[in-house]
Structure 1
Amino acid sequence: MTYRLLPEWYPQDGIQLTWPRHDGDWAPLLACIEATLERIVIATARYQRVLICAPDELTKQRLADTFDAYGVPAERLLLIVAPTDDTWARDHGPVSVVDEDGQLVMLDYTFTGWGGKFPAERDNRLTQRLANAGVWACPVSSRDLVLEGGGIETDGEGTLLTTEACLLNPNRNPTLSRAALETQLGEDFGVDRILWLTNGHLEGDDTDSHIDTLARFCDPSTIAYVRCDDPNDPHYPALAAMERELQAFRQRNGEPYRLIALPWPQACFDPEDGHRLPATYANFLIINQAVLVPTYGDPADVTVLNALAVAFPEHTLIPIECISVIRQHGSLHCLTMQLPQGALIRDTPALGKSIRGTLAQHSAGTD
């Protein structure tokens, strides 16, 4: 079967969010992260649907009441109950492709908590559980390959952008050589060009340099990337080297990419132990007719909106404050997974009842 990996700007049914558990890692920041997620839902629901996986029935009902009070149309929300470990839908959510007949297929990769750093068994089972419950309107195909959505970027035309530090890390697929991995990615995504970045990282990042923290396709010929302009910052050498790599990359037609440099926010530190947090403006989310942009209460917040306005002249740019999100070492894009047109079942009212029962059955005795 031949597939084609869809770019983020492909028309979407909605986005997927995984709501935090009250007893999880977000517990000390629960009110803050919930406020950020609420802003994401309200902004997104203007344009498309939002699938929210809630940790329990009480949270699900509370969210339904909250968003009803905010005036979010009920038909724009799909609230379901599902057991999860954490909130990073970008990495435990499905990766969407189309086959040669134009049929949407969701690829369900193995998620190990970024190479076994954190518990991930429930997150790893989530996509298939949602399939068993009838959430998806398209087939799901499981993969043994360890891969996270934040680790890959595509132009939708056969080119993949990624980092060696993540995809070639022995904590992901230690038995696969680079050549074998490229073959697998070519088969799964229909890509015949892989642009490998060998430089670039963010302090405080748990993902081993996910590409969505560093450089992003905005269209087939445009890449937005983070640039550090402070020679005294420890990130400066690696990000300067990454910039040179991006400048050397060529499009399929031999032309250089249009590169849009994103500003470097002031250093953010954890207020409890002082470690540096991975604030990055590259972690934006493209949805239908809009781009949600992470902000950090920094003077560069305005600068990044101006920069991305050049990349997305026909989109509305919506700032989403993400100071609390980086406290858990991710940002806006990491919290979300886009769901392309044809992904979500349409009969939401009837589905709500059936999902509760089906998920309960599939979860019994396993969590």
Structure 2
Amino acid sequence: MPPEWAPHEATWMSFPTPNATFGEEDSPSLADARKAWARVANVIVGYEPVKMLVNQADHTTARSLLDPGVELVDIALDDAWLRDSGPTFVLDQDGRTRATAWRFNGWGAQSWASWGRDRHLGTLVGRAAGVEVDRSPLTQEGGGLHVDGAGTVLLTETVQLDPDRNPGWTRAEVESELHQRLGTATAIWLPRGLTADYDEFGTRGHVDVVATFTQPGTVLVHTQPDPGHPDHAPMKDVAEILRTSTDAQGRRLDVVELPSPTVAEFEGRPVDHSYVNHYLGNGFVVGCAFDDPGDEKAAAVLSQVYPGRDVILVDARDIFRFGGGVHCITQQQPKA
């Protein structure tokens, strides 16, 4: 699996559908979600092709919100988190693009989730991209892993070893399957994700709101400066684990801390707002903005760790309100 900063053929996304997460058709909440997804797509299409999966009944609405350059792909959907339900694109030994279709079961068969259609997206998106598809027996979401393109993968225990995802799988079995599919050799395991990610609509600990590689040997990690916040101590532990970890090349990792936004609650509940959940593409970084004093500092850090790329912040409050961020709604297809 190439790293996210490698050249892209395209970005894939899904257009929000009426469901338990976004609300019913014609609801204000669904309209908010569609506008938020469209803002991200309309930025990315200025840099690389964007292919948006859309239910047939939603074509008119999608076309009215999206830049004319965004291609609509008619595939039946349950939800709109394509990072998780779609395939992971990889390159074979001859440099040809292939798609790995993981098992998808609604983030551990959660009661609110529907995945009768989305469980087929790994295969269907691969076919729509015109590449060969390989099916994995591992229940996995794209937000549950990050690679450095040089043999190392980041994981969290609460996702990979979730008994509602992979009952009976051992850590060694998960590693073996991931190494085979991703071409990695070393897994760095983090114990958990952010506190709010274990709420009703959470993923139970996706790594892509916690830490990500910015280049081989360097990892960006979410930190919580507020000692009273439930993520303060766990994220200190995560940073320490990363500092003492060795990657596939035998290097100790260089850890860059990225502090959380200052707003830590919404309606009295902790939020998992995270600047780590950004998306890289051809010459750009789309970062999350929260109308927060931390936005400017985060943009400066992203400019520092991704030199030479345009850093564009997009209001991500409505995306996080529904359970994820900019990275969660995008999926890169690397160039062959």
Shared topology, TM-score over 0.5? yes
For these two proteins, the number of residue pairs brought into alignment is 327
Equivalent AA in structure 1 for residue 231 of structure 2: H
Match of 2:155 among 162, 178, 182: 162
Equivalent AA in structure 1 for residue 146 of structure 2: E
**Cross-structure match for 1:333:** 327
Deviation, 1:256, is: 2.5
**Cross-structure match for 1:302:** 296
Q: How big is each residue's C-alpha offset from its partner over 1:237-268, in whole Å with a ceiling of 9 and x where there is no partner?
A: 11111111111113445443222111111244
Deviation, 1:202, is: 2.9
State yes or no: 1:128 paired with 2:123.
yes
Equivalent AA in structure 2 for residue 87 of structure 1: A
* Distance in 1 (alpha carbons) for counterparts of 2:177 and 2:41: 35
TM-score by length of 1: 0.84
* Distance in 1 (alpha carbons) for counterparts of 2:271 and 2:55: 27
State yes or no: 1:320 paired with 2:314.
yes
* Distance in 2 (alpha carbons) for counterparts of 1:276 and 1:251: 32
**Cross-structure match for 2:88:** 95
**SS at structure 2 position matched to 1:317:** strand
Mean CA deviation greater in 143-152 or 119-128: 119-128
* Distance in 2 (alpha carbons) for counterparts of 1:327 and 1:253: 38
* Distance in 2 (alpha carbons) for counterparts of 1:332 and 1:319: 10
Deviation, 1:37, is: 1.5
**Cross-structure match for 2:239:** 243
Deviation, 1:175, is: 2.1
Q: How big is each residue's C-alpha offset from its partner over 1:196-246, in whole Å with a ceiling of 9 and x where there is no partner?
A: 112542324411211101000111121111011111111111111111111
* Distance in 2 (alpha carbons) for counterparts of 1:184 and 1:339: 21
State yes or no: 1:43 paired with 2:43.
yes
* Distance in 1 (alpha carbons) for counterparts of 2:157 and 2:41: 33
Equivalent AA in structure 1 for residue 42 of structure 2: I
State yes or no: 1:80 paired with 2:73.
yes
Larger Rg: 1
Q: How big is each residue's C-alpha offset from its partner over 1:141-199, in whole Å with a ceiling of 9 and x where there is no partner?
A: 12221011000111111111111121122221112211122211121122111111125
* Distance in 1 (alpha carbons) for counterparts of 2:59 and 2:185: 43
* Distance in 2 (alpha carbons) for counterparts of 1:241 and 1:150: 21
**Cross-structure match for 2:254:** 258
Deviation, 1:329, is: 1.8
Give identity over the alignment, percent: 27
Equivalent AA in structure 2 for residue 29 of structure 1: S
Q: Show the 5 A alignment for 1:1-367.
A: 5-27=1-23, 28-57=28-57, 59-67=58-66, 72=67, 74=68, 76-117=69-110, 118-131=113-126, 135-205=128-198, 206-271=202-267, 274-342=268-336
Q: In the superposition, relative to structure 1, how do residues 14 and 201 fare at CA in structure 2: closer, same or farther (>3 Å)?
A: same
Q: Structure 1 unaligned runs (5+)? A: 343-367
* Distance in 1 (alpha carbons) for counterparts of 2:12 and 2:171: 31
The answer on whether the counterparts of 1:199 and 1:241 sit within 8 Å (CA) in structure 2 is: no
Equivalent AA in structure 1 for residue 59 of structure 2: K
The answer on whether the counterparts of 1:277 and 1:329 sit within 8 Å (CA) in structure 2 is: no
Deviation, 1:317, is: 0.3
Equivalent AA in structure 2 for residue 300 of structure 1: G
* Distance in 2 (alpha carbons) for counterparts of 1:252 and 1:322: 33
Equivalent AA in structure 2 for residue 259 of structure 1: V
TM-score by length of 2: 0.92
Q: In the superposition, relative to structure 1, how do residues 279 and 66 fare at CA in structure 2: closer, same or farther (>3 Å)?
A: closer
**SS at structure 2 position matched to 1:121:** coil
Q: Structure 2 unaligned runs (5+)? A: none
**Cross-structure match for 1:364:** none
Deviation, 1:277, is: 2.4
Equivalent AA in structure 2 for residue 159 of structure 1: T
Q: How big is each residue's C-alpha offset from its partner over 1:33-88, in whole Å with a ceiling of 9 and x where there is no partner?
A: 2221121111101111111111224x213333444xxxx4x4x4220222211111
The answer on whether the counterparts of 2:264 and 2:271 sit within 8 Å (CA) in structure 1 is: yes
**SS at structure 2 position matched to 1:223:** strand
